[in-house]
A and B are shown apart, each in its own frame.
Chain A
Amino acid sequence: MTAADQRPQAAEPMLVLDEVNTFYGQIHALQGVNLTVAEGEIVTLIGANGAGKTTTLKTISGLLHPRRGTVRFEGADVSKTAAHTLVRRGIGHAPEGRRIFGRMSVLENLMMGAFTRDQPTIPPDLDRVMTLFPRLRERTHQLGGTLSGGEQQMLAIARALMSHPRLLLLDEPSLGLSPILVQQIFSIVREINEQGTTILLVEQNALQALSIAHRAYVLQTGRVVLTGPAREVMSDESVRKAYLGED
């Protein structure tokens, strides 16, 4: 990646959250989150409902801004940077609940994903995401809202990829999908990572997420309570109890 060469040779990982505190009005959603993602990694963020996973992603992608603490992306402080600017800077976000444009066709959705790109780069990108998700090629001209849940999720990920992110934020890609589709989505996520995109993955489906991730963070009421290589987190007793359904 040419952009990678231009970056200062900092020892710092691609993404660094330093004591991030995010609020919804009075509600203190993130209470000093520290987190790093190095280039090339898949990092997963697991935790119960309301732990602050989605808030963390939104804070990174600029849809929310931290009240205290900093978010640094590729060495620069982006805590106050707007979401649309961060898309240009290389952060792609497939938000919670897919949020595809239901009344646009699949192709139009993908074109919206390429909003920040130059025209000539779009056709090869389209081809790339449609190779990753052959289903989308079959449904090019179908309205987004008429797709099945799994296809909508594929579209949401594909749309985020159209902006050429170096860091891709995925918010619960397995939500509401059948086990087979979950497998399929996760294997594609791994493929995207192998093609060179760094991934921060938020999941309720902890077992699946840990099985593809390099490292993991466990979030509880706005704080990181556990972190480490995915395999270690998976074997942690409290995690097994809380998230993997073991006694």
Chain B
Amino acid sequence: MTATMEVRSAGSPSPRARLRAYAHGHRSATIVVSMVLITAAMIVLAQVPPLSLIQRQNAWFDAFANAGTFVLLAMGLNVVVGLAGLLDLGYAAFFAIGSYTYAYSNSPFSQTDLPFLPMLVVGAAVAAVFGIALGAPTLRLRGDYLAIMTLGFGEIVPIVFLNLDKWTEGTNGIGGIFRPEPLPVLGEFSALSPFPYYILMVGIVTVAMILLYRMQDSRIGRAWNAIREDELAAAANGINTVTTKLLAFAIGATTAGFAGVFNASKLTIVSPEQFLFAVSFSVLAMVILGGMGNIWGVAAGALLVYLIQVVLLKQLNGMVEGLGIPFLTEINFLDYQYLLFGVALVLMMLFRPEGLFPSQRRRRELHIADELAGPIDEPAVIGSLGAAPGADELGDTSGQDLRGHDR
């Protein structure tokens, strides 16, 4: 341990460390550049084997765009669960509210056709209002009780949409929703050419990611972190726990609202069964698998899980059928997606509880014992505190010389 620490601090910084430091300092630019690179890479990858063997390029763009909805949802839920530490089991409700908001503004049912981009903001705002409305009376609850409340809310919302059939067309849902109007460069949005949806989605995800990172690094982010650790101590340190938790709920709901509007404009139909508990659960599983608290991690987790769930399992059916083995052809792999989810979650908790792409902080929390041996890398604050001479040397031995010293 000591040896590796010395190597890290003594030698000149590796290119990777320099890149990391640069990315930390120019976060928004880094996000934009990364997203452009990823988007371009995915366009290329969709046209070459092995991806091109699985399905056509357009089908991939369609899948990527749909996956983007879940990337947004996962990033939003990450604020509530990963940053503020509030377990929300009814997150799909806000997704539903965003979707229905767009349906009411752009469908034959409502006989209105409002422009897409402003509606994106409106849908998010409406979801945020519901987030606050749900949060205000319930956030005094803690832990399990809050989770049960959100679970209830998540059940109520689709049932309301189902039963108010006079206003929601009940189980049929609202169909024939208008697609976004053509955008410059991207062109027409249609079922046949999903490419504009893909690019639009990337744009929304990029903006959301930049905003969420800014928030996470701000005072609010620190307040969320403190509340997640110890709410009473947070209050005793001058944090308004009620508004801070409410804000986490509202931000989460806003992000779900974005996802909802996009989703409705792409599927062109919204109906209550799109927003059942399975959605809330899937998004939560994406957040956990991806790495709670790490925005990039949960985004990657959501993309991965969605593609496995929707694309690969479907293809697996086709492939196995092609093999012609009687027993296997009868299996519909899509039926087993939640079983696979369950198994993946159990394995994850056993072997990598911090998720596939954990945040620094989470990793620290879960491997606290390892940290006894040395100081933590914190480039942002180390610089501001030059007044700690020899902190590094002393830090290394601290684990030993103090144990049992004062008890």
B contact residues, total (Cβ < 8 Å) = 43
Once bound together, how far apart are the Cα atoms of A145 and B364, in whole Å?
A: 11
Inter-subunit contact A99/B384 (CB<8 Å):
no
In this complex, which of A102, A112, A113 has the most chain B Cβ atoms within 10 angstroms of its Cβ? A112
1/0 per residue, CB under 8 A from A, across B236-262: the answer is 111111000000000000000000000
A-B contact pairs, 24 of them (CB 8 A): A63-B235, A85-B240, A99-B230, A99-B232, A101-B225, A101-B226, A101-B233, A107-B385, A111-B381, A112-B226, A113-B237, A126-B385, A126-B387, A130-B388, A140-B391, A142-B376, A142-B395, A143-B371, A146-B398, A148-B402, A149-B406, A163-B238, A176-B407, A180-B406
Q: Which of B376, B390, B394 makes the CB contact (< 8 A) with A105?
A: B376
Inter-subunit contact B406/A177 (CB<8 Å):
yes
Report B-chain residues with C-beta under 8 Å of the C-beta of A84. Answer: 235, 238-241
Inter-subunit contact A105/B222 (CB<8 Å):
no
A82 interface contact, C-beta 8 A: yes
Inter-subunit contact B381/A95 (CB<8 Å):
no
B219 interface contact, C-beta 8 A: yes
Inter-subunit contact B236/A61 (CB<8 Å):
yes
A 95-127 contacts with B by CB, 8 A: 95, 99-105, 107-108, 111-113, 115-116, 123, 126-127
Report B-chain residues with C-beta under 8 Å of the C-beta of A146. Answer: 368, 371-372, 398-399
Once bound together, how far apart are the Cα atoms of A149 and B403, in whole Å?
A: 10
- Looking at the assembled complex, report how far the CB atom of A90 sits from the nearest CB atom of chain B, in whole angstroms: 11
Inter-subunit contact B219/A115 (CB<8 Å):
yes
Report A-chain residues with C-beta under 8 Å of the C-beta of B376. Answer: 105, 141-143
B335 interface contact, C-beta 8 A: no
A103-B361, A108-B381 in contact; A63/B239 too (CB < 8 A)? Answer: no
- Looking at the assembled complex, report how far the CB atom of B367 sits from the nearest CB atom of chain A, in whole angstroms: 11
- Identify 10 new A-B residue pairs, CB closer than 8 A, beyond the known A149-B407, A160-B236: A103-B365, A103-B368, A104-B225, A105-B376, A123-B384, A141-B378, A142-B395, A148-B403, A163-B238, A178-B407
Number of chain A interface residues as a range: 35 or more
Report B-chain residues with C-beta under 8 Å of the C-beta of A213. Answer: none
A137 interface contact, C-beta 8 A: yes
- Looking at the assembled complex, report how far the CB atom of B363 sits from the nearest CB atom of chain A, in whole angstroms: 11
A209 interface contact, C-beta 8 A: no
Once bound together, how far apart are the Cα atoms of A180 and B406, in whole Å?
A: 8
In this complex, which of A83, A84, A178 has the most chain B Cβ atoms within 10 angstroms of its Cβ? A84
CB-based nearest A residue for B393: A138
CB-based nearest B residue for A92: B236
Inter-subunit contact A103/B364 (CB<8 Å):
yes
B375 interface contact, C-beta 8 A: yes
CB-based nearest B residue for A184: B406
In this complex, which of B230, B238, B382, B403 has the most chain A Cβ atoms within 10 angstroms of its Cβ? B238
- Looking at the assembled complex, report how far the CB atom of A64 sits from the nearest CB atom of chain B, in whole angstroms: 11
B330 interface contact, C-beta 8 A: no
A88 interface contact, C-beta 8 A: yes
Once bound together, how far apart are the Cα atoms of A137 and B387, in whole Å?
A: 8
Once bound together, how far apart are the Cα atoms of A177 and B371, in whole Å?
A: 24
In this complex, which of A82, A107, A163, A180 has the most chain B Cβ atoms within 10 angstroms of its Cβ? A107
Report B-chain residues with C-beta under 8 Å of the C-beta of A102. Answer: 229, 368
A 134-188 contacts with B by CB, 8 A: 137-143, 145-151, 159-160, 163, 176-178, 180-181
CB-based nearest A residue for B391: A140
Once bound together, how far apart are the Cα atoms of A139 and B407, in whole Å?
A: 19
A99-B232, A140-B388, A149-B406 in contact; A107/B381 too (CB < 8 A)? Answer: yes
1/0 per residue, CB under 8 A from B, across A53-75: the answer is 00000000101000000000000
CB-based nearest A residue for B404: A148
Report B-chain residues with C-beta under 8 Å of the C-beta of A83. Answer: 235-236, 238
Inter-subunit contact B371/A140 (CB<8 Å):
no
- Looking at the assembled complex, report how far the CB atom of A188 sits from the nearest CB atom of chain B, in whole angstroms: 15
Inter-subunit contact A139/B403 (CB<8 Å):
no
Report B-chain residues with C-beta under 8 Å of the C-beta of A181. Answer: 406
Once bound together, how far apart are the Cα atoms of A181 and B378, in whole Å?
A: 30
Report A-chain residues with C-beta under 8 Å of the C-beta of B226. Answer: 101, 104, 112, 115
